[in-house]
A and B are shown apart, each in its own frame.
Chain A
Amino acid sequence: MLSAEFRGFTWRHAGRRAPAVADVDLRIEAGERVLLLGPSGSGKSTLLAALAGLLTTDSGDHDGEVLLDGKEAAGQRGRVGILFQDPETQLVMARSGDDVAFGLENQAVAPDEIWPRVHESLEMVGFPYTTGHPTHALSGGEQQRLALAGVLARRPDLILLDEPTANLDPEGADSIREALRTALADTAATLIVVEHRVADILNLVDRVIALGPGGAVLADGPAEAVFAEHGDMLAEQGVWVPGAEPPSHPDANPGETRLRGEALTLVHSGAERPALDGVDFDLRAGELLAVTGPNGSGKSTLALLAGGLVRPTRGTATVPGESWPLHRLPARRLATRVGTVFQDPEHQFVTGTVRDELAFAPHAAKWSRRRIDARVSELLERLRLAHLTEANPHTLSGGEARRLSVASALAAAPEVLLLDEPTFGQDRRTWGELVDLTASIRDEGTALLAVTHDRDFAAALASRELVLRAGRTHAEANRC
């Protein structure tokens, strides 16, 4: 057990003008279980990194103190364990057991004690494989459980969780929460967890601290009291306050078919079964079709084939007015027919400013200068990017980058837009913006297909749902 304290703590990342957190005073008692809330940019991750001793003097400027049991945090890494959100960049070793052992080796645990502790912590998180199992063959949820075992094996007195389920599908997120429940029941360690989806984590904590911009404490106390008193304000700030009513945007009458997929099949060379196996669908103007199903069911593959981005092994995706299937179209023509928005917006940025980004596809499609300018201005206005015209796309916040990637996919006025996990890892406010934006695009007559794990997103916007299992259509249902 360990108490944690910030005294007048300020941190500015190297190369930034504004501090990430300014003048934070906060004390967390030994053994407390704390949920740290706040919108993107409130410095939650910075505070956790400071406690973990990861903010080194060469990565920024600091002021004030970060104390663990009254002593500088920087020198006490051995007593703190931190779990990050991205499972892939937390695993160091090729074999699962070695990865848990890695932290113990660093701690100079005696060699004959290492393996018993590895087995103990793997059991604690319910890791289903042997120690020799390759880490790259694990699913995201399994990788995250392994990373958690790596944290627990070191027997930290302070456990920090930085959005531990944000990058996982619902099944993976459940398994991590289950592992956390078991593990936390077994230890007296102090816990600080950062999480957007509050409802799922509330039974693990006994105190909620809500931060505003720059790390200012907005509310602090037991969960019920905090949400009763400050619920509306927190929702406004982007927190998923439990019990809030999800929005609903039913569509008007869908029009004609804008995109048709026939017997779409993709077999990767050397794979045991097709990634996608004979899936048919049609997509009509003014509707949103939600494509759902567990990880590995072929959802993202369907989006790639439907968008004409990958050549199907069999089957075709076609739009009216084109005699060739989409995958045969040259890219500049494809962009005027179907837009695709990927999960990671940064993969899609191809220019140095927001304006150029929006002008790119219309320019490639040889639109006239005047038409391009008009289109760019319209999109900047509609997606509230007008103040960022000259900004570099790579410097945008998560929500802005997402809006820009949607805007740039729409730039060349395609009649079909495909979205791959559009709400992944977004805070409540950005989520709400995305739902509104998607509804307005749909209601203008664009045909939308969204691959999503997000039940609330699908419920708010989709009139039909296509459920995939193991590469095949499992069910196709009207939602209303």
Chain B
Amino acid sequence: MLTIEPICDPRAPIARANPVAKLFAVAAVSTTALLAGDWLTPLLLLAALIAVVPFAGIRLGPLLRRLRWLLVAAGTVAVVNTVFAAEKTGTVLFSAGPLEITSDASIDGVALGLRVCVAATAGVLGFATTDPTDLADAFTQQLRTSPRFTIGSLAALRMLPLLGAEWQQITTARRARGMEGGRNPVRRARLFASTMFTLLVGAMRRAGRLADAMDARGFDSEIPRTHARIQRMRRTDWLLLAGAITVAIAAVAVSFAYGTFDLLA
């Protein structure tokens, strides 16, 4: 089943940090990794992120499960860029027919893979420790986004798991009527389209009812809303943000000093 809830211990320091502070911290680290063209900067950033994991309150198992597809993607990026590099310079490490792997190409490939890793890990650490409700609260209170849009999206997000269950019900109901995809691809495609149609009709109705229920409770009236839960930047949140920026600058500085830094062209 689809879940959108945080998977961490709510008392962990990072889990308790302000969502907006986390968002900007993730942005600082990911942007640095994506802009750097070398292998050292993302490697240092990844090390820093791994050092932070114990403070996020996520156990390793669930974290890796969330990361697994992103790690596969990072691995693919690394391999593809190594094998199909445009400029094959440096010493040849491996050669078989048209396939040739050179040292420079493999370093570039690994660097690209590492950058994807950093962005993915930072993103998962940020979102897996943040409750969507708190994020929406923080957006409306600190970034002054429109409550209509933000709270509306939040309510829609809550409906997502219901759609999964409903898809299951429709498919079963179709089988009872004698309708089944089987192995025929055309019939499968038609079944998919008609199931999707029924699902959407239901979802629209449901969305209409939810909108009515929200309006009936005074949502989107002219009065400015108050907030049951105050979201603001505390000292620790500023420290988290400052820490993330410092790490990003330090990684770039070390890479510079080592002579490897290269801005992504």
Contacts and interface: CB of A to CB of B under 8 A. Distances in A.
Interface of A: 49, 52-54, 77-78, 80-82, 84, 86, 88-95, 97-98, 101-111, 114-115, 118, 134-136, 147, 150-151, 154, 304, 307, 309-310, 330-332, 334-336, 339-340, 342, 344, 346-350, 360-361, 364-365, 394, 408-409, 412
B190 to A, nearest CB: 10
Interface residues of B, number: 47
A330 B180 contact: yes
B96 interface: no
A335 B179 CA distance: 9
A334 B173 CA distance: 12
Nearest to A86: B209
B254 to A, nearest CB: 42
B214 A92 contact: yes
A89 B131 contact: no
A131 to B, nearest CB: 10
A77 B221 contact: yes
B194 interface: yes
Given A106-B218, A360-B178, 17 more contacts: A77-B215, A84-B213, A90-B210, A92-B155, A92-B210, A92-B213, A94-B133, A106-B225, A108-B225, A110-B226, A136-B158, A331-B174, A331-B178, A331-B179, A336-B178, A340-B176, A344-B169
A53 to B, nearest CB: 8
A331 B169 contact: no
Contact of A394 (B132, B176, B201, B214): B201
Contacts of A360: 177-179
A334 B223 contact: no
A350 B177 contact: yes
Contacts of A98: 133, 228-229
A335 B5 CA distance: 40
B221 A78 contact: yes
Contacts of B93: none
B180 A331 contact: yes
A62 B154 CA distance: 33
Contacts of B209: 84, 86, 89-90
A54 B206 contact: no
Contacts of A350: 174, 177, 179, 194
Nearest to A151: B217
Interface of B: 5, 131-133, 151, 154-155, 158, 161-162, 169-170, 172-180, 182, 194, 198, 201-202, 206, 209-210, 212-221, 223-230
Among B161, B162, B201, B229, the most chain A Cβ lie within 10 Å of the Cβ of B229
Contact of A339 (B155, B176, B201, B215): B176
B150 to A, nearest CB: 12
B216 A81 contact: yes
B216 A409 contact: no
Closest 9 CB pairs of A and B: A335-B178, A331-B180, A106-B218, A101-B228, A103-B217, A340-B176, A347-B173, A89-B209, A364-B178
A364 B182 CA distance: 13
Nearest to B175: A331
B115 to A, nearest CB: 33
Contacts of B201: 346, 394
Contacts of A331: 174-180
Contact of A108 (B206, B212, B223): B223
Among B210, B212, B216, B220, the most chain A Cβ lie within 10 Å of the Cβ of B216
Contacts of A81: 216-217
A245 B180 CA distance: 44
Contacts of B169: 342, 344, 347
A344 B201 CA distance: 13
A384 B22 CA distance: 62
B226 A114 contact: yes
Contact of B212 (A80, A84, A307, A365): A84
Given A81-B216, A84-B212, A412-B178, A106 B221 contact: yes
A294 to B, nearest CB: 20
A105 B212 contact: no
Contact of A309 (B176, B216, B219): B176
